[in-house]
Amino acid sequence: MKLSARNVFPGTVSGITKGAVNSEVSLTLKGGAPVIAVVTNDSVDRLGLAAGKDAYAIIKASSVIIGTDLHDAKVSARNIMCGTVARVVEGPVSTEVDVEIGGGNIISAVITHESARNLGVAKGGHACALFKASSVILGVS
């Protein structure tokens, strides 16, 4: 499977909460980081998702928000992963920021150059990557 999405994380389904239309799927990544996804019940059934099943969390880099000094912040995004900035690629319009979140996992975000400048992101610095549960695509092999 080849994808254009920058963020593809293997994990194991740790729980599923079914609603009327959508399900909340909890995935535990290598290293223990949790990822929460909201997908349709039809997708859960079609993918055969169940606790203990291996799956992939896929998140486009453009769906990831970067923040600093967020440890006391209250936000609605279900997925907040903090770590060390591993790489910054600056461009005149956009900047790519890679954050190492543990367990060998690195999450990539593409944000505006101006936002990166205002945040002061730099290699070796601390940053948090945020994304909504509805921005997570799930896949299975």
Q: What is the pLDDT of residues 84-127, one digit of tens each?
A: 999 999 999 999 999 999 999 999 999 999 999 999 999 999 99
Q: Is the confidence at residue 72, as pLDDT, over 90?
A: no
Confirm if 131 and 77 have CB atoms less than 8 A apart. Answer: yes
Q: Is the confidence at residue 1, as pLDDT, over 80?
A: no
Confirm if 37 and 133 have CB atoms less than 8 A apart. Answer: yes
Q: What is the pLDDT of residues 3-49, one digit of tens each?
A: 899 999 999 999 999 999 999 999 999 889 999 999 999 999 999 99
Please state the pTM of the whole predicted model. 0.93
Q: What tokens were used for 26? A: 């909890």
Say what the pLDDT of residue 71 is: 78
Confirm if 33 and 83 have CB atoms less than 8 A apart. Answer: no
Confirm if 133 and 34 have CB atoms less than 8 A apart. Answer: no
